[in-house]
Amino acid sequence: MTEHELAVRAHEALRARGGTLAVAESLTGGLLAAALVDVPGASATFRGSVTAYATELKASVLGVDEGLLAVYGPVHPVVAGQMAEGVRRLLGATYGIATTGVAGPDPQDGQSVGTVHLAVAGPEGTLVSSPRLSGGRARIRHGAVTAALELFVGRLRAGTPTT
């Protein structure tokens, strides 16, 4: 399924539940928000996004634990979870999605290219996924958008209604 088709399904599922969504992006640098707002009527369910590319913004804006960042760096599954929880809280959304990872071309903070951590936070708790992606920088970033939307849509299908 394409990014666009997944974004349409995400909005449809949110509308059916009366829910809203916010995203926190690092690795994807705004691509996830762009995919979501490309859907006509997105304003009914999409609250907004934070692109926290710099590590310190993950702490100061999204509330990621500074100690966690100091020990593990920004590419870590718990960081992804805290980013999703933080953007959900910050933007007053029912759900938050977060992306962090290494798109390349070089490893970062001891993490290899293709290391990706995604998270969905919502009333049901926080779910983290760490797919291993391959290819060039653009392919990894778009693959992360697709994987994040798949994780989110799957979570909504499996979860309970929010209303």
pLDDT tens for residues 52-76? 999 999 999 999 999 999 999 999 9
The span from the CA of 29 to the CA of 99, in Å, is 9
pLDDT at 10: 98
Residue type at 92 in one-letter notation = G
Task: Classify domain 3-158 at the CATH superfamily level.
Answer: CinA-like (3.90.950.20)
Other Cβ atoms within 10 Å of 10 Cβ, number: 26
Half-sphere exposure of 14 (CA within 13 A, CB side): 26
pLDDT at 162: 43
Unique residue bearing structure tokens 């992006």:
25
Q: Which of 117, 72, 75, 76 is nearest to 98 (CA)?
A: 117
pLDDT at 109: 87
pLDDT at 161: 46
Sign of CA dihedral 76, 82, 86, 87: positive
The span from the CA of 1 to the CA of 76, in Å, is 27
CA angle 74-79-82, nearest 5°?
140
Question: What are the mean pLDDT values of the chain's consecutive 10-residue runs (163 residues total)?
Answer: 97 97 98 98 98 97 98 97 98 98 95 98 97 98 98 86 42
pLDDT at 158: 83
Enter the pTM of the model.
Answer: 0.96
